[in-house]
Amino acid sequence: MSLDLTALSAADDTIRHVLAAAGMSPPAAPIDVVSHGKSGDLIALFGPVVVKLAPSVLSHNIVLLAQEIEAMRWLGDRVRAPAILWAGPCEAGYALVSETARGTPVSHVAEGQARAALIATIETLAALHSLPSADCPFDRTLAVRIPMAEAQVEAGLVDEDDFDAERAGWTAPQALAHARATAPKSEDLVLTHGDASLPNFIWSPGQPVTLLDLGRFGVADRYQDLAIFLRSAKRNHPHIDAPALLREHYPLAEIDERACEFYRLMDEFF
Ligand SMILES: Nc1ncnc2c1ncn2[C@@H]1O[C@H](COP(=O)(O)OP(=O)(O)O)[C@@H](O)[C@H]1O
Ligand SMILES: [Mg+2]
């Protein structure tokens, strides 16, 4: 990508363009460009406002951000998510301007608070998974996701260097063949976040968790979320027994390791 959106002056200008498109005044507070967004989107926080911009050079990100906005609108107050202040196209791409969720991403909470933050996240996932899903228009079942994975592989969009350690050295077609061979015969369908890694949950003590980054939200097997949550918890807070917390607080009699393995594998394609 030729445009370095994380270079501060470029980011500042870009944010000003987004705010102009939104009819909002430029920020009085300093702009804080978040570097741990993984997607390539520009995320900038200033006081109570967050701008998320999918740059025009990244068309896949624009599709994902548009889906995220649709999902947030559909969810409304069914879950705790930031309010949308403005969303739409602008000179630099496609942007979402939303309220800042107060708190810390669960990936970044202090070690002494990690257990409470993980429990709150588990409770939030359990509440999401128990909402009615019949009228949800976002289909993320395997009937949709496996063809999407195939399309990603065919388009050469799968980053084999980013595979989990257990698949290091695999090719994308090999991973796809393995996914087809190990796909579960049935799905336990619920409303899922779709990318339940810990940076996408904002927590502060005594408060419910806020959900962010809902571009992959939709109806899928509950292990879509549980698998990604457990992998992320192990990475970010390795000294905490997240599977035990999940069994106790979700709750689950036992964790289906094969389902975890399969949904982690599916995550490699997106
Ligand atoms: N509304 C918000 N309130 C607070 N922090 C936010 C908000 N939106 C984004 N962030 C911060 O920016 C990070 C990246 O945003 P996210 O929407 O997850 O982008 P990406 O798709 O790049 O992962 C989040 O992990 C969080 O730290
Ligand atoms: Mg994110």
Q: In terms of domains, do 225 and 116 share one?
A: yes
Mutate to test the pocket of ligand 1, among 15, 42, 43, 106 (most ligand atoms within 8 A of CB): 43
Q: Report d(CA 34, CA 6) in Å as an integer.
A: 9
Q: Report d(CA 70, CA 190) in Å as an integer.
A: 18
Q: Indicate which atom in ligand 1 lies nearest the CA of residue 101.
A: 3
- Strand-pairing partners, residue 184, are none
Q: In terms of domains, do 116 and 67 share one?
A: no
In order along its 270 residues, the chain shows pLDDT tens digits of 334 555 556 778 888 889 989 999 887 777 888 865 577 899 999 888 999 999 999 988 999 999 999 999 999 999 999 999 999 999 889 999 999 999 999 999 999 999 999 999 999 999 999 999 999 999 999 999 999 999 999 999 999 999 999 999 999 999 999 999 999 999 999 999 999 999 999 999 999 999 999 999 999 999 999 999 999 999 999 999 999 999 999 999 999 999 999 999 999 999
Helix (H, G, I), strand (E, B) or coil at 55: strand
> How far, in whole angstroms, is CA 135 from its chain's centroid?
22
Q: Ligand 1 site: residues with CB under 6 angstroms?
A: 34, 36-39, 41, 43, 45, 50, 52, 82, 98, 100-101, 105, 199-200, 202, 212-213
- Ligand 2 geometric centre to CA of 2 (Å): 23
**Containing structural domain, residue 199:** 104-267
Give the residue whose CA is nearest to atom 17 of ligand 1: 213
How many structural domains are present in the chain? 2
Q: Let me know if residue 2 belongs to a domain.
A: no
Q: Let me know if residue 130 belongs to a domain.
A: yes
- Domain termination residue (choose one: 75, 99, 123): 99
pLDDT digits (tens, 9 = 90+) for 65-112: 999 999 999 999 999 999 999 999 998 899 999 999 999 999 999 999
CATH number where 122 lies: 3.90.1200.10
Q: In terms of domains, do 183 and 85 share one?
A: no
